[in-house]
Structure 1
Amino acid sequence: MEDAEKGAQQHPESVPELGEDAVTSVNPPPPPSNLTEEERQELQEELFKVEDEIQTLSQVLAAKERQLADIKRKLGITPLNELKQNITKTWQEVTTSTAYRRTSETLSQAGMKATTAFSTMGSAISRKLEDVR
């Protein structure tokens, strides 16, 4: 049982995942009575093994992220450069989208119609002002 206590100290309680009952994670249900002590012990060992694998993978991921940051630094890729590239790429994707093109064409047509309407209205006002003189 000492191994189980050590494992519990090394592995903090997990945060409930989506759909997991928070009450169940705080007060876990009693283990099913149909498990033998041997089966329970095997499951406990498997649990610790999986938790250790998760911890190892987290450490490997952190090391890879540090390696990535180091390579980017050596290449002169800064977060600002990446942001600029992402914005440029996103803007290109937006401007080539069908919705953007249709909206742009519609606004262009509306602008031309508005220009024509204002021009016509301006001419009419000018004529009225000339008539008043």
Structure 2
Amino acid sequence: MEEHLYNAPKMSEPTSPAASVASADIAAEFAALTVEEQEQQRAEWSQELARVEEEIVTLRTVLASKTRHASDLKRKLGITVWKEITDDMNQGLKNVKESSVFQRTESVLKSTSEKTASVFGSITSGISSKFSQMKNSDSMRSIEEKVGSAYENVKTKVSTSRSGSVTSFPDALNENNSSGLNSPTNSTDK
């Protein structure tokens, strides 16, 4: 069985040049031993390997026991898996928010939004000023006056219609048009 362990492929090959040199040195030293010394060395290594594997099994058993005990204590304290995940997520978000990359990105986004707001503000104020200029223009005042007078005339006719001469709003509007007043739509024809 011992021979089977040593003839099996190695679990991990040396990855660094220093490890390759060390492996080569060990192989050279082992080859320099007599057959009896090689057998004795193999027996020592086999005993040490058995002890290490036994320690690994013991450590795994202890670790499993400690993990169960920690889970029991968490359950007794009311610490659930969901709470642990939530706490981990909150801590992660806090770490991200405190990072310099996040801080720089946040400041860039803030300045961009301020610039965008100022651009939209200037556009809105420009539109507002154009509307106020239009409202104060002579043609708009003329339209307002004509619409206002037509409305007042129709309102007067409707209120007098209650006394009997006109019976409906459309009749009053027609009577207003026939009396020679300009309607808002006809004012542009003249």
**What TM-score bracket applies, with the shorter chain setting the length?**
0.5 to 0.7
Q: Distance in 1 between matches of 2:14 and 2:79?
A: 40
- 2:104 corresponds to: 102
Q: Decide which of 62, 67, 70 is 2:69's aligned counterpart.
A: 67
Residue type of the alignment partner of 2:121: S
Match of 2:119 among 84, 109, 117: 117
Query: Counterpart amino acid of 2:53?
Result: E
Residue from 79, 82, 104 that aligns with 1:80: 82
Shift in Å at residue 100 of structure 1? 1.7
Separation of aligned partners in 1, 2:124 and 2:13: 63
Following superposition, the deviation at residue 67 of structure 1 comes to: 0.7
Q: Identity rate of aligned residues, in percent?
A: 33
Q: What CA deviation, in whole Å up to 9, does each residue of 1:20-42 have, x standing for no partner?
A: 7xxxxxxxxxx854352111111
Runs (4+) of structure 1 moved beyond 6 Å? none
Q: Do the aligned partners of residues 64 and 18 (structure 1) sit closer, same or farther apart at CA in structure 2, a change above 3 Å counting?
A: farther
Aligned CA distance change for structure 1 residues 67 and 17 (closer, same or farther; 3 Å): farther
Q: Output one character per residue of 1:85-133: Cα deviation in whole Å (capped at 9) or x when no partner.
A: 11112222222222222211111110010111223334456639x5xx9
The one of 38, 41, 64 aligned to 2:40 = 38
Q: Compare CA radii of gyration and give the structure with the larger one.
A: 2
Q: CA deviation at 1:17?
A: 5.1
Q: C-alpha displacement at 1:57, in angstroms? A: 0.7
CA drift at 1:18? 8.3
RMSD: 3.3
Q: Provide the rounded CA distance (Å) in 1 between the counterparts of 2:42 and 2:11.
A: 22
Structure 1: tracts of 5 or more residues without a match = 21-30
* Structure 2 equivalent of residue 93 of structure 1: 95
Q: Does 1 or 2 have the higher relative contact order (CA < 8 Å, sep 6+)?
A: 1
Displacement after TM superposition at 1:16 (Å): 4.2
* Count, aligned residues: 113
List alignment gaps of at least 5 residues for structure 2.
Answer: 16-26, 135-139, 141-190
Give TM-score scaled by structure 2 length: 0.49
C-alpha distance in 2 between matches for 1:65 and 1:102: 41
